[in-house]
Amino acid sequence: MAKIFSVASGKGGVGKSTVCCHLARSMAQHGEKTLIIEMGCGFRGLDVFLNIDQIVYDFGDVVEKRCDVFDAIQNVKDCELLDLLPASVDFEKEFEDTDYNYIFDILHEEYDNIILDLPLRYDVLYSIKDFIDACLIVVTPDPVCVRNASMCVNFIHNEFEKDIDMKLIVNKISKKAFRRGFIDNIDSIIDETQLQFLGGLPQSESIILANCNGSALKKRSLEYRIFDAIYERLIGNSVKVLI
Ligand SMILES: Nc1ncnc2c1ncn2[C@@H]1O[C@H](COP(=O)(O)OP(=O)(O)OP(=O)(O)O)[C@@H](O)[C@H]1O
Ligand SMILES: [Mg+2]
């Protein structure tokens, strides 16, 4: 039975897809068969981040029964245990709860982990709330992003009938901005969101390069080790938080 993790945020462009991609690579490195499902409609990005050349079928085609789910799933060339189910490019499409049920039912037995790259729509998170083991909230340290994330956390606590296990990842940390006092420190971000902190990633050229080339982060690089520590903490192992 797969563990299902969703990745969400209170603001666009903060690094949800980046976290999905490199966290999934960490899981696969640990020998766990992992699938990323790109849940949005309209825009795609993970095919580029994972260097997948050609997409024939996508999430929408599976739901519309134009293909089998395994026809739409693509393997990542340089990572045998990692697969992607790409997003539908139909901007008009709205999926029903039953569509998610249908796909998760088939895939649950096939993978150790399924990571859901969520769009900025809380109705999608609501639709899948009964399936997920945890929701990772990605924030950047700027005050608007932190405030929006904390509003989302409150909204989920108050409006969802189910308790969702939410955890925090801080991305695009600029040490210079911290030093100069432009942005708050990590402790105050944790205080404001009230979430368990999994790890923090720097603003990093290696991450930009890996995303542009669709490649993995270099083994033993700081960024690689941070994703590995995030993975360990996510599965409950007590490793030091890396920032
Ligand atoms: N730690 C980082 N350092 C530098 N650049 C980063 C970092 N994380 C992500 N990026 C870059 O920021 C941009 C946005 O990242 P990404 O697409 O992962 O965000 P997103 O939250 O998925 O966006 P959207 O809301 O549009 O889905 C990308 O160009 C990505 O390469
Ligand atoms: Mg994205």
User: Order of strands, edge to edge, in the sheet holding 113-117?
Assistant: 74-76, 79-85, 34-38, 113-117, 3-8, 134-139, 166-173, 196-202
Could you tell me the maximum CA-CA distance found in the chain, to the nearest angstrom? 54
The domain spans of the chain are 3-234
Q: Rounded to two decimals, what is the model's pTM? A: 0.96
Q: Is the pLDDT of residue 182 over 70?
A: no
Residue to mutate, 18, 117, 173, 213, ligand 1, most ligand atoms under 8 Å from C-beta: 18
Residue 9 Cβ inside 6 Å of ligand 1? The answer reads yes
pLDDT at 241 over 90: no
Residue 131 near residue 100, CB atoms below 8 Å: yes
Name the residue with the closest Cα to ligand 1, atom 8: 15
If you average pLDDT over residues 150-163, what whole number do you get? Answer: 90
CA–CA separation, 76 vs 115, rounded Å? 15
- Once rounded to an integer, what is the mean pLDDT over residues 85-95? 89
pLDDT tens, position by position, 32-82: 999 999 998 888 999 999 999 999 999 999 999 999 999 999 999 999 999
Q: For the purposes of burial, counting CB atoms within 10 Å of the CB of 105, is it exposed (0-12), middle (13-18) or buried (19 or more)?
A: exposed
Listed residue (74, 54, 69, 78) closest to 99, CA to CA: 69
Count H helices and E strands in the chain, helices first: 11, 8
The domain defined by 3-234 folds into: Rossmann fold (3.40.50)
Could you tell me how far CA 200 lies from the centroid of its own chain?
Answer: 14
Q: Assess whether pLDDT exceeds 80 at residue 5.
A: yes
- Cβ of residue 171 lying under 6 Å from some atom of ligand 1: yes
What whole-number distance in Å separates Cα of residue 24 and Cα of residue 227? Answer: 9
The residue with greater pLDDT, 155 or 178, is: 155
At residue 183 the predicted structure's pLDDT band, cuts being 50, 70 and 90, is low
How far apart, in whole angstroms, are the C-alpha atoms of residue 192 and residue 195?
8
Taking residues 192-210, report their average pLDDT: 96
Q: Residue 47 Cα, ligand 2 centroid: separation in angstroms? A: 11
What integer best gives the mean pLDDT of the chain? 93
Name the closest ligand to CA 38: 2
Q: What are phi and psi of 79, to 5 degrees?
A: -150, 90
